[in-house]
Amino acid sequence: MSRSRNERPGSLGGVTSLSLSSASAAASKADAVVIGVAQGPKGLVLAPGADSVSDALGKALLPALTGLGATGRAEQVVRLATLGATTAPVVVAVGLGPVAAGDGDSDGAYDSELLRRAAGAAVRELAGSGRVALTLSMSGGDVAAGVRAVGEGTLLGAYSFGRYRTAAGDASSGVDRRDPVGKLVLLVPDAKSKTLRAAVRRAEVVSRAVLLVRDLVNTPPSDLHPVELAELASSVAGRTGVDVEVIEGKALVSGGFGGLVGVGQGSANGPRLVHLAYRGGKGTTSKVALVGKGVTFDSGGLSLKPAAAMEEMKSDMSGAAAVLATVVAVAELGLAVDVDAWIPMAENMPSGAAIRPSDVLTFRNGKTVEVNNTDAEGRLILADAIARACEDSPDILIDVATLTGAQLVALGARTTAVMGNDDALRASVVDAAGRAGEPSWPMPLPADLRKGLESEVADLINTGPREGGMLSAGLFLQEFVTEGVRWAHLDIAGPAYNSGEAYGYTPHGGTGAAVRTFVQLLEDLAHAG
């Protein structure tokens, strides 16, 4: 039975520890030692940290790796038996791509995201190992930044979702069901450094948050209706001292949350609105509101999706999970920022009670919307939550959602679209995302597309023309943002779920998109204050 099966959501997914050691790579007690290699002008080059392994194997290391096919290509993993030359029986070389800029060999600093992905690729390859040591933290120039990046890469790369497996399987299945690496050791010059230990802790906190999202996204929708998601949010957030309020039933109706009620009324599992409140304490100067789309399963409602389009719709609550996990991480890190999260949760199902195309809904801020497509439900539940969040006059408001298929068409499966009513805020989000290792791209909200949302019977319709559909969705949401509130919208329809093979530290399935961006942005705000 998989070791990761009984891990609670928000754990490190089966990894028992992440630690630092000042032992040399050649003398490290581990099942495998991971070193970095790169593509140099004259062939394979060792990255910083591999010196002791090179010394132990003499002139044989690079020729042996080259003979095994190592090229230094980014994320390429090659194993080499050391035959007793080092304490660890196996050396694993992971590619870092072209040699980093420096003096022409290995003295340059490698990008943090490159190290993060390399660490993830190596650790995925070493699934089943009990203890793995890595030298990659010393390849980034700033060792603390390297520890943070490699720590995240190893923990995220080691992830395995085995909760529903009853057997380990075998190699012939084509699915890797080995337990993740048990213990991860980062080799650094000074393992007692407070700065490096703080970097390890941050890596653990952020990784737990991302893995919480992955667990929730990967959970079958039959086990994660709005009620279960709300209960789990209350439990996980409550353990960190975050205040939790759950609004449901008649309270949603009396509260004027017509969009959320409307989307949820077609399901036997009623909607919820979860409010999480974290207070940063003395020195706090920023007040942030977060909103995340929580459609626990999206059938399309009466505008029914094709069968194949439903297969990954358990991921339609990725935005909600990202916001929940972010608040938990912010609380664990004790950031000096106030955060109010409003998380609308609903199941979009077809039934005799479901909303119909041409129905009109009245929202929290009093606006009315004619529903011309019940499969554009995410913006309906977000609109209510955005309107409610604005009532508290936050300094900034950010929402995140798997909102439109048009995002995939425009930017592909790995790049988040960022829109908003404030260019500086949009730029800050994109910058934070880049430093966190989550690709994003700023997108406009063209005013000329707004007339495509006009209705003859209500204030708005919920979908406009097909052209510019992602941007029209952003314009729709902007209608519910109170004037004067700085707002940004993240569309993670593609990045939230990896439909293809695993790569780097990213598994097949839920990815945990947006959490690292949010934590980085909130850290920036806390430090700016």
pLDDT category at 197 given cuts 50, 70, 90 is: very high
Ranges in the chain annotated CATH 3.40.220.10: 3-194
Taking CA atoms, 207 is separated from 116, 156, 169, in Å, by 12, 6, 27
Mean pLDDT (whole number) for 42-70: 94
**In this predicted structure, which of 156-170, 294-308, 410-424, 509-523 has the lowest mean pLDDT?**
156-170
Local structure of residue 447 (DSSP, 8 states): G
Annotation says 305 is catalytic: yes
What is the pairing mode between strands 368-370 and 294-298? unpaired
Whether residue 2 is predicted with pLDDT greater than 50 in this model: the reply is: no
Mean pLDDT (whole number) for 451-478: 97
Annotation says 79 is catalytic: no
Supply the mean pLDDT for the chain: 94
**pLDDT, greater one: 158 or 105:** 158
In this prediction, residue 423 carries a pLDDT of 98
Using alpha carbons, select from 93, 139, 134 the residue that is nearest to residue 113: 139
Q: Considering 178, 279, 305, 367, which one is annotated as catalytic?
A: 305
Whether residue 354 is predicted with pLDDT greater than 80 in this model: the reply is: yes
CATH number of 3-194: 3.40.220.10
Cβ of 454: how many Cβ atoms within 10 Å? 12
Which residue has 């604005």 as its token pair?
A: 390
Residues 77-113: pLDDT tens digits? Answer: 999 999 999 999 999 999 999 998 764 444 568 999 9
Taking CA atoms, 155 is separated from 12, 43, 130, 184, 415, in Å, by 7, 31, 14, 8, 22
Percent of the chain with pLDDT over 70: 94
Using alpha carbons, select from 440, 386, 373 the residue that is nearest to residue 411: 440
Give me the amino acid identity at 208: R
Q: Considering 131, 148, 208, 379, which one is annotated as catalytic?
A: 379
Sort 142 into a burial class: Cβ within 10 Å, 0-12 / 13-18 / 19+.
middle
Local structure of residue 340 (DSSP, 8 states): E
Using alpha carbons, select from 357, 380, 227 the residue that is nearest to residue 303: 357
Farthest-apart Cα atoms in the chain, separation: 80
Give me the amino acid identity at 4: S
Mean pLDDT (whole number) for 382-403: 98
Ranges in the chain annotated CATH 3.40.630.10: 219-517
- Residue 155 · residue 203 · CB < 8 Å: yes
Local structure of residue 60 (DSSP, 8 states): G
Q: Phi/psi class of residue 382: alpha, beta or left (left: φ > 0; alpha: ψ in -120 to 50)?
A: alpha
pTM: 0.95
CA dist., res. 529 & res. 522, Å (int): 11
pLDDT category at 122 given cuts 50, 70, 90 is: very high
CATH number of 219-517: 3.40.630.10
Whether residue 161 is predicted with pLDDT greater than 80 in this model: the reply is: yes
